[in-house]
Amino acid sequence: MSDPILDHGALEECLRLVAAEAEAYLRSVDGALVRPPVPPAVDAVGGALPEEGAGSLSALRALIDAAQAGATRSAGPRFFHFVMGGGTPAALAADWLTSALDQIAFNWVSSPLAMELEQVAVDWLKQLFGLPAAWSGVLTTGATTANFTGLAAARRWWGLQHGVDVEEQGLSGLPPLPVLTSGHVHVSAIKALAMLGIGRAQVRVFAADATGRLDAEALAGALRELRGAPAILCATAGEVNAGGFDPLDAMADLAEEHNAWLHVDGAFGLFAAVSPTTRELVSGIDRAHSVGVDGHKWLNVPYDCGAAFVHDPEVHHGAFAATAAYLGREELDRPVFSNLGPEMSRRARAFSVWATLRAYGRDGYRAMVERHVGLARRLGERIDGEPELERLADVPLNVVSFRYRPADVPEGDLDELNRRLGHAVLDDGRVYFGTTVYGGKVAFRPAIVNWRTREDDVDLIVSTVLELAAALPPARA
């Protein structure tokens, strides 16, 4: 089989094959081991570039076999590692449609449907999170690019404060851009600052303790020393190790007083805004200048998806606008979402976002967030009830930080013990989460965001950890 046109007739059969496989896979995902015990066979998918193609059905069958062996069941309810959602039924099906229709979400001419849906999706997300309607917004590949987008707008604002159009002139001749943050700052925000030419070394972290909690006094002191010179404050709503929040209202006050742009990374923590029981955690979010959030985490749309929101649409547009003769000029009242983010050709991510919000609405998301917060608290209580486990932080939202701490093991040996136990958890595969270092201690940090997750899944965390800990071979001397 060579030219794909010869394979035209196989298209329907390919789609049927994959639909049947996807149905079977997803039917089993609730109970499956998160990581199958057999590592993927590279032999089956590797080798030299085929000179002659095998045909679509044959290629797909090989891919399906490889997926059986090598895909983590991350769409399932017991993948608590990192912070990973699944795809709600509406979002997943809409994602299939996205591929089938293959729209490019560049501008109106490329796809009126994609533009319309993105406009609505961004508006609905603003309503979901309580962000002002006048802000601009754009869908991104995730929170890293959402942070990049918000911080790019911040950089533009900062340049204009110095009388320089950074997108036009570049950064040379400008002073270093001060970025101030707490210890909760996520590595993706630092990565975005590096990509923006602001530089990792410009980031000053004001942490009150080893958990990264903001030292607000020290931050205020540093801002005073800037004497009104423009700066970026980078806040985190929902940090990865224990779900901690920076005090957004207090940081918004400081930003206002000291001529700073407040960017908030709310990759998953912005969902606290969805429920009255947790909304207080993001009080002040509407006073930020830019906000990033993920779609493939708590919104439970398939990878990849995020969103960035900026309080000043003009600054936002100025940071990303680009055109060329062949791309045409859009009428002013038609959105051009490629002018609000780093990508030009873009996947129509709005299909999934729109479909899931239309399907489940504000009430559905509130119910899911509250269920997950309840499950996290339940897990915290179970940990508290086990003498050999130690909870390391409060549970403000959906991440639970804890470690194994048997009475007879000295403190100095606990990090290594928990690391080994972490490997055992991943190898076991019934529940799935890794270790981190929190407050200077090696700790577990299961994060609950998957729409499928129920009590039974969460209860398995404590019983599995204790069972595996009891079976752990003694440490080598």
Ligand X SMILES: Cc1ncc(COP(=O)(O)O)c(C=O)c1O
Nearest distance from C-beta of residue 195 to ligand X, angstroms: 12
Binder among 223, 252, 260, 267 for ligand X (CB under 6 A): 267
Site for ligand X in 301-340 (CB under 6 A): 306
2 exposed, middle or buried (CB, 10 Å; 0-12, 13-18, 19+)? exposed
Q: Which of residues 151-190 bind ligand X (CB under 6 A)?
A: 186, 188
Task: Catalogue the long-range contacts made by 37-45 (C-beta closer than 8 Å, 24 or more residues apart).
Answer: 37/429, 38/69, 39/69, 39/70, 40/66, 40/69, 40/70, 41/66, 41/69, 41/70, 44/69
- The DSSP secondary-structure symbol of 39 reads P
Place of tokens 């003009």: 314
- C-beta of 174 vs 194, nearer to ligand X: 194
Contact between 150 and ligand X by CB under 6 A: the answer reads no
Per rule CB under 6 A, is residue 83 in the interface with ligand X? Answer: yes
> Which segment (61-69, 139-147, 347-355, 370-378) binds ligand X by CB under 6 A?
139-147
Smallest distance from ligand X to CB 422, Å? 18
- For ligand X, the closer of residues 178 and 292 by Cβ is 292
Nearer to ligand X, 121 or 267 (CB): 267
The first and second tokens of residue 62, run together, are 């090989």
Asked whether the bond before 304 is cis by omega within 30 degrees of 0, the reply is yes
Question: Pick from 246, 265, 428, 457: which binds ligand X (CB under 6 A)?
Answer: 265
Question: Which CB, 143 or 355, lies closer to ligand X?
Answer: 143
Residue listed under structure tokens 């915290």: 380
CA dist., res. 29 & res. 21, Å (int): 12
Residue 57: other Cβ atoms inside 10 A: 14
Nearer to ligand X, 299 or 461 (CB): 299
Our finding on whether 401 is near ligand X (CB under 6 A) is no
Shortest distance in whole angstroms from residue 97 CB to ligand X: 22
Told to check if 96 binds ligand X by CB under 6 A, we report no
Window 231-260: contact mask with ligand X (x via CB under 6 A): -----x-x-x--------------------
Please say whether the beta carbons of 460 and 431 come within 8 A: yes
Q: Measured from the CB of residue 241, what is the shortest distance to ligand X in angstroms? A: 10
Q: How far is the CB of 300 from ligand X (least distance, A)?
A: 13
289: contact with ligand X by CB under 6 A? no
Beta bridge mates, 391: 402
Cβ distance 429 to 35 under 8 Å?
yes
Residue 453 binds ligand X (CB under 6 A): no
Q: Closest Cα to residue 379, out of 401, 362, 364? A: 401
Indicate whether 294 belongs to the interface with ligand X (CB under 6 A): yes
Taking residue 264's Cβ as centre, other Cβ atoms within 10 Å add up to 30
Site residues (CB under 6 A) for ligand X? 82-83, 142-144, 186, 188, 236, 238, 240, 265, 267-268, 294, 306
